[in-house]
Amino acid sequence: MTNVDPTAPALITEHDVAIHLRAIDGVASVHDRTIPGSRAIIDHIAIGPSGVYVIDTNPHRGSVERRDNRLVVDERDRTDLAIAMSHRVGAVSTALRDLRIPISRALCFVGGDWPPTMLPFMLRGVWIGFPIQLYRLVSQPGVLQPRDIETAVELLEAQLPPAG
């Protein structure tokens, strides 16, 4: 894992997340991928020993919390952000075909000044947290070998074209 300072300023952008994901030892990543037949973009896909992580980054400076079975961002119900992850995960699953690699979904909030005691949480099968926590999540140990990770990256790059 890279040496990301958790005490550093938390004003991180989506681009910074891409840079940090690329720097994590043993983890490969692809960024800003389009879903064929859709206008949706997948911000980041990280592939590490513990599996594939489909990551959507959202800039926000206010409070983020779970209330009942809802995602509340600055007192607004934004559960739709978690629900929208299904479309992105479906595209990644299709691209990876029969690899049988676990695929997880993550919603990462960037650009805020988050308290260090704020813990990530799960909502509707989506991990929700902040950048430093995301880097720890994708770098967890697992059973995938470097060749498995390489194969997944090759398939993702071939099936999900770059945006823009």
pLDDT score, position 64: 87
Rounded to an integer, the average pLDDT of 36-50 is: 95
Work out the mean pLDDT of the chain and round it to a whole number: 89
Give the C-alpha distances (Å, rounded to integers) separating 24 from 60, 72, 112, 136.
24, 30, 22, 9
pLDDT given at position 13? 86
What are the structural domain ranges in the chain? 14-159
d(CA 65, CA 161): 33
Please tell me whether residue 53 adopts helix, strand or coil conformation.
Answer: strand
Nearest to 88 by CA among 137, 112, 52, 128: 52
Residue 4 has pLDDT above 80, yes or no: no
In this structure, of 5-19, 26-40, 80-94, 121-135, the range with the lowest mean pLDDT score is: 5-19
Span 14-159: which CATH code? 3.40.1350
Close Cβ partners of 141 (under 8 Å, ≥ 6 residues apart) = 49, 50
pTM of the model: 0.89
pLDDT digits (tens, 9 = 90+) for 60-114: 877 888 899 999 888 899 999 999 999 999 999 999 988 989 999 999 998 766 6
pLDDT of residue 74: 85
